[in-house]
């Protein structure tokens, strides 16, 4: 089956209101403003796109068009949602709390994110695992809560350089993925209506390094992840989008996205500049 590409920007702890306004105006103008009735961000006919960059999406009103999302810091989400209203670009968050509400100072719930206009949320990013002690179980719990609130959870998995060198890549990916699969393949009542989950393979050694995994390295990891999902549920495996993340740029996006099991990209540094991000979106359409 055809999986629709997803290109998502993760701004991490970068940006401010002025940057958000400029970025959103530029990206919305470039990608067209019509919003598909199915709510998944289909890029509409590029009517009104007068400048040269419109060529990125010259044929964008067909089903080949990529789904596009941006995940700013929490404080900038509402500005992004307002600035991107009516555009094809969805907004997501970079983290959430697994609890529904209550005495959790500083935290943000899935319902708050959905209420604030988010459609996506990243969980288990390697920076949260390394710096804030995120476990496989808490990432999975967050994904579960996110999906129950109608958000698309993007679970990040990926090995460190030391783990790769020790030959442990698949062991690490399997461990990180398995808890999530309980949430993804679970059949609790109402779950069929939950948005499909997304997995992002982000080798820690490639993140922020300027050196992405080779398309072959990435494809091997993606293939492994899809096979592991298939062992649980072949239908979920066929539908689940697996994004690559780690130094994706306008220069390497096309060859990464050409791999059969790479269904999009989670873009850090290169998502901060609208033009760089648009070049990656262009490579996906």
**Which residues of this chain interact with ligand 13P, rule CB under 6 A?**
10, 125, 202, 207-208, 245-248, 266-270
Task: Check if 163 is active-site.
Answer: no
Task: Give the shortest CB-69-to-ligand 13P separation in angstroms.
Answer: 12
The least distance separating ligand 13P from the CB of residue 24, rounded to whole angstroms, comes to 19
Q: Is 125 among the catalytic positions?
A: yes
Which of residues 77 and 207 has its CB atom nearest to ligand 13P in the complex?
207
- Using CB atoms within 10 Å of the CB of residue 227, give its burial: 0 to 12 exposed, 13 to 18 middle, 19+ buried: exposed
Minimal distance in Å, beta carbon 173 to ligand 13P?
16
Give me the catalytic one of 125, 127, 144, 159: 125
CA distance 135 to 153: 16
Residues 6+ apart with CB under 8 A from 111: 100, 101, 149
CA dist., res. 252 & res. 238, Å (int) = 25
Q: Where are the beta strands (DSSP E) in 72-181?
A: 89-93, 120-123, 152-157
Q: What is the dihedral angle through the alpha carbons of 273, 220, 3, 278, rounded to the nearest 10 degrees?
A: 10
Nearest CB to ligand 13P, comparing residues 44 and 213: 213
- 113, with CB counted inside 10 A (0-12, 13-18, 19+), is buried
Q: Closest-CB residue for ligand 13P?
A: 268
Closest CB to ligand 13P among 267 and 274?
Answer: 267
Q: Which SS3 state, helix, strand or coil, does residue 26 take?
A: helix
**To the nearest whole angstrom, how small is the minimum distance from the Cβ of residue 47 to ligand 13P?**
32
Q: Is 84 helix (H, G, I), strand (E, B) or coil?
A: coil
State in angstroms the smallest separation of the CB of 125 from ligand 13P: 6
Least Cα distance to 5 among 282, 274, 215 occurs for 282
Smallest gap from residue 62 Cβ to ligand 13P (A): 28
Cα first-last separation, the chain: 17
Query: For ligand 13P, which is the closer residue by CB, 33 or 128?
Result: 128
Find the catalytic residue in 67, 144, 202, 222.
202
Give 32 or 269: the residue with its C-beta nearer to ligand 13P.
269
Q: Are 57 and 46 in contact (CB under 8 A)?
A: yes
Which one, 7 or 83, has the nearer CB to ligand 13P?
7
What tokens does 1 get? 């089956």
Look at phi and psi of residue 55 and say left if phi exceeds 0, alpha if psi is from -120 to 50, else beta.
Answer: alpha
Catalytic positions are 125, 202
């Amino acid at each position: 089956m055809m999986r629709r590409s997803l290109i998502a920007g993760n701004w991490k702890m970068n940006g401010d209101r002025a940057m958000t306004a400029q970025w959103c105006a530029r990206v919305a103008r470039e990608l067209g403003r019509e919003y598909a009735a199915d709510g998944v961000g289909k890029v509409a006919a590029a009517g009104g796109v007068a400048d040269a960059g419109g060529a990125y999406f010259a044929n964008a009103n067909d089903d080949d068009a990529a789904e596009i999302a941006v995940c700013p810091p929490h404080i900038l989400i509402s500005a992004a949602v307002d600035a991107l209203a009516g555009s094809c670009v969805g907004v997501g968050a970079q983290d959430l709390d697994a609890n529904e509400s209550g005495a959790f100072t500083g935290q943000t719930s899935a319902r708050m994110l959905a209420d604030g206009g988010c459609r996506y949320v990243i969980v288990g990013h390697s920076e949260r695992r390394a710096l804030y002690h995120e476990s496989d179980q808490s990432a999975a719990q967050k994904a579960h809560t996110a999906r129950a609130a109608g958000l698309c959870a993007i679970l990040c998995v990926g090995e460190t350089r030391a783990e790769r060198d020790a030959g442990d890549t698949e062991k690490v990916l399997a461990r990180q993925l398995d808890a999530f699969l309980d949430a993804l393949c679970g059949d609790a009542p109402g779950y069929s209506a939950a948005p499909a989950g997304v997995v992002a393979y982000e080798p820690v050694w490639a993140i922020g390094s300027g050196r992405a995994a080779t398309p072959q390295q990435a494809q091997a990891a993606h293939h492994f992840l899809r096979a592991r999902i298939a062992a649980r549920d072949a239908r979920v495996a066929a539908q689940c989008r697996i994004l690559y993340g780690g130094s994706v740029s306008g220069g390497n996006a096309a060859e990464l996205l050409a791999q059969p099991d790479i269904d999009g990209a989670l873009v850090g540094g290169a998502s901060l500049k609208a033009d760089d991000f648009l070049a990656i979106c262009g490579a996906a359409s």
